[in-house]
Structure 1
Amino acid sequence: MTRFILASGSQIRADILRQAQIPFETIKSNVDEGVIKAERADLSPRDMALCLAEAKAEPVSIANPDALVLGADQTMELDGDLLDKLPDAALARARLERMRGRPHCLHSGLALLQAGEPVWRHQQTSTLHVRAFSDAFLDQYLEQAGFALTASVGAYAYEGLGAQLFDRVDGDYYAVLGLPLLPLAAVLREHGVLPQ
């Protein structure tokens, strides 16, 4: 069976793979996203997700040439702006107020590499429509959300309390979480990681 490595420290991506019973190893990539974003500022938020995914997979793939290595990243786009994770929870209120009553896009990028070379790339966009929530809800949310305020770019964990922020989502559940599972499973079957 082909070795499959997730080049990410993301707990939610690892959980998705485990729940789907996909055998994998984790080797976290130490790529500096800030440097790549600065160097490739010409890219759209959608293309940036794929660029970051490939950059994360490449060093792990070169070090493990016998394995298939998955790099994954997700970017958030609001009004054409590429948004970054918040450095502290104090900034979450302003971010959520900006998002209130409006849609934003989450762009997922996946890159599968072997011996440092890409063998498959995938991009998927989900549009999330934030409801016009009350200030009272926002106060309560900020009090309860905890780690989610800085762990994700949108200051929410969609698989938890964050689901209450939305009135509609156009897109795949797994893509919203940052790992489009069905196209990934299909390519893993092609490469012998999963049975046909």
Structure 2
Amino acid sequence: MTGAPGERLILASGSTARRDMLAGANVPFTVRPADVDETALKSGLTHVDPAELALELARAKALDVSRHDPEAWVLGADQTLAFDGGMVSKAPSLAAARTRLATMRGRAHQLHSGAALARDGRLVWSGVDTATLTMRDFSDAFLDAYLAAEGEALLACVGAYRLEGMGSQLFDSVDGDYFTVLGLPLWPVLAELRRVGVLAP
């Protein structure tokens, strides 16, 4: 593991994909999911666009954990999905996921991945990146096979797909960074971690 002595990083997210991205990049960190009421926060931010909402959620998570451990660097992250002029939330059931994917097939949507870094209860940095994904016009038979193979794990994903799994077969093209699709603008995050001394320059 790299990183300056005494500089600790906490990931304020329970996301397995974000944890795997940081671990794969050999970033030293611990995990402490934030205690943020996302539903309440979203209801108070109805005037902001999906990209800004991803940022606000990431900032709220970073600040929440930072207030409990002021000497650590805290990374918050969140992702929103924009489709057909609105914003899509996680599907509550596989039936809802099926309906959503059927509506999105053959069309494009945007994923906005926001990240924020806090220390001592204060925001130090935040940023957002966007990727545009175009789904292919897949058949109902493929959709049913996909849902059966992936199961309820899809309900934890905002788009009801995991690009790192069978979900890659749903798409014709992706315009943007792979890590952004997975839920973290990794390159800007790594640059900031180098700047503050969590990683070696």
In the superposition, the TM-score normalised over structure 2's length comes to: 0.95
What's the counterpart of residue 35 of structure 1? Answer: 40
Q: Is the partner of 2:64 in helix, strand or coil?
A: helix
Contact 1:148-1:157 at 8 Å conserved across structures = no
What's the counterpart of residue 138 of structure 1? Answer: 143
Kindly provide the CA deviation profile for residues 32-86 of structure 1, in whole angstroms up to 9, marking residues without a partner as x: 1100010111111111000000111112111111111011000000012111101
* CA distance in structure 2 between the aligned counterparts of 1:90 and 1:122, rounded to whole angstroms: 34
RMSD, matched Cα:
0.9
Cα offset, 1:147, TM superposition: 2.8
What's the counterpart of residue 94 of structure 1? Answer: 99
Kindly provide the CA deviation profile for residues 120-160 of structure 1, in whole angstroms up to 9, marking residues without a partner as x: 11110000000011111112112112133211111101110
* CA distance in structure 2 between the aligned counterparts of 1:24 and 1:80, rounded to whole angstroms: 37
Residues 14-29 of structure 1 mapped to structure 2, 5 A cutoff: 14-29=19-34
* CA distance in structure 2 between the aligned counterparts of 1:183 and 1:143, rounded to whole angstroms: 36
* CA distance in structure 1 between the aligned counterparts of 2:168 and 2:62, rounded to whole angstroms: 30
Cα offset, 1:166, TM superposition: 0.4
* Percent identity (aligned): 54
Is 1:129 paired with 2:143?
Answer: no
Correspondent of 1:113 among 100, 113, 118: 118
Gap runs ≥5 in structure 1: none
Gap runs ≥5 in structure 2: none
Contact 1:65-1:116 at 8 Å conserved across structures = yes
What's the counterpart of residue 58 of structure 2? Answer: 53
Superposition misfits of 4+ residues, deviation over 4 angstroms: none
Is 1:195 paired with 2:180?
Answer: no
Alignment-mate amino acid for residue 137 of structure 1: F
Q: Is the partner of 2:192 in helix, strand or coil?
A: helix
Cα offset, 1:15, TM superposition: 0.8
Is 1:44 paired with 2:36?
Answer: no
In the superposition, the TM-score normalised over structure 1's length comes to: 0.97
Correspondent of 1:151 among 153, 156, 170: 156
